[in-house]
């Protein structure tokens, strides 16, 4: 038989009361501070520091910086990249691109650069036209040009639509018409000089309907 004295019971009870006070103090005073610090401090994943996203950060693209960088890279008097690099990346020479851009933005309110409610300038016509050309040249999705041009996916898609419509409107009568007899003679002569006598044009199967077209190439 074991005997438990009243003194030991009282001592245990005092310890429980003291422990309860310590737990209450920790939950009330220290726990909120620990939780706050854990939520606000950056987390590190595989050695990369991740800064927590704040509301509105996705809209702070710094569009002015994107325009300045694009202009200095390709359109300044002493650009960063050469004419050869421009030709490879834009699929055309710089004067031709500028001519197309000036015609496309003419009279189209979408390409006009305006200020928002905060007084900040929006996207420039140069950014929008470059986004359209990059998507046409590389076949990329609208979101792929955001990192360099600071232009969102929806705006890139609209820029492509307006750009293509502007090209049709301003250049259809001159470049998208059927060739005349003079045009045919000139084309035949040019192709003959290149080693392809009698060739008018090269068909890339875009003019033919293919009923067994794979799903990956559909439309």
In a domain, 46, yes or no: no
| Cβ pair 113, 54 in contact under 8 A | no
Of 194, 214, 213, the C-alpha closest to 202 is 194
Decide if 171 is inside a domain.
Answer: yes
In a domain, 129, yes or no: yes
In a domain, 174, yes or no: yes
Q: Is residue 140 part of a domain?
A: yes
> Can you say how many angstroms the Cα of residue 141 is from the centroid of all Cα atoms in its chain?
8
Confidence of residue 76 (pLDDT cuts 50, 70, 90): very high
Answer whether residue 49 is part of any domain: no
Nearest to 24 by CA among 35, 16, 14, 12: 16
Structural domains in the chain (count): 1
- pLDDT (0 to 100) of residue 53: 47
Which residues have a Cβ under 8 Å from the Cβ of 40 and sit 6 or more positions away? 52
> By residue range, what is the domain housing residue 142?
59-189
What predicted TM-score, i.e. pTM, was given to this entire model? 0.60
65 inside domain: yes
DSSP of 10-74, one letter per residue? HHHHHHHHHHHHHHHHIIIIIHHHHHHHHHHSPEEETTEEEPPP-TTGGG---HHHHHHHHIIII
Does pLDDT of 37 surpass 70? no
Q: Would you put residue 180 in left (φ > 0), alpha (ψ -120 to 50) or beta?
A: beta
CA atoms within 13 A on the CB side of 81: 15
pLDDT value for 208: 66
pLDDT per position as a tens digit, 93-143: 999 999 999 999 988 999 988 887 777 888 999 999 999 999 999 888 999
Measured CA to CA, the distance from residue 208 to residue 99 in angstroms comes to 32
Q: How confident is the model at residue 31 (pLDDT cuts 50, 70, 90)?
A: low
Establish if 212 belongs to a structural domain. no
Contacts of 92 (CB under 8 A, 6+ apart): 100, 133
In this prediction, residue 58 has a pLDDT band, given cuts at 50, 70 and 90, of: very low
The answer to whether residue 45 scores a pLDDT higher than 60 is: no
Distance in angstroms (rounded) separating the CA atoms of residues 51 and 41: 8
- Residue pair 32/24 in contact (Cβ under 8 Å)? The answer is no
Out of 45-59, 140-154, 164-178, least confident range: 45-59
pLDDT of residue 36: 54
Q: Quick one: tokens of 209?
A: 């309907």
Which neighbouring-strand residues pair with 43? 50
**What are the C-alpha distances in Å from 26 to residues 20, 29, 34, 70?**
10, 5, 10, 55
């Amino acid at each position: 038989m074991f005997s438990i004295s009243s003194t030991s019971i009282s001592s245990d009870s005092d310890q429980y009361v003291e422990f309860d006070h310590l737990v209450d103090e920790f939950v009330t005073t220290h726990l909120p501070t620990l939780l706050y610090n854990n939520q606000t401090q950056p987390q590190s994943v595989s050695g990369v520091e991740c800064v927590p996203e704040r509301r509105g950060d996705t809209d702070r693209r710094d569009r002015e910086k994107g325009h300045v960088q694009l202009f200095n890279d390709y359109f300044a008097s002493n650009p960063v990249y050469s004419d050869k690099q421009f030709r490879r990346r834009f699929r055309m020479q710089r004067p031709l691109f500028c001519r197309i851009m000036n015609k496309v933005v003419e009279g189209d309110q979408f390409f006009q650069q305006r200020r928002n409610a905060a007084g900040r300038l929006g996207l420039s016509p140069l950014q929008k036209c470059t986004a359209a050309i990059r998507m046409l040249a590389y076949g990329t999705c609208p979101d792929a040009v955001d990192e360099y041009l600071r232009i969102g996916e929806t705006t890139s898609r609209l820029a492509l639509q307006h750009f293509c419509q502007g090209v049709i409107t301003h250049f259809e009568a001159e470049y998208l018409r059927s060739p005349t007899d003079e045009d045919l003679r000139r084309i035949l002569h040019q192709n003959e000089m290149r080693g392809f006598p009698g060739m008018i044009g090269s068909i890339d199967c875009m003019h033919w309907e293919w009923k067994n077209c794979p799903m990956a190439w559909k439309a």
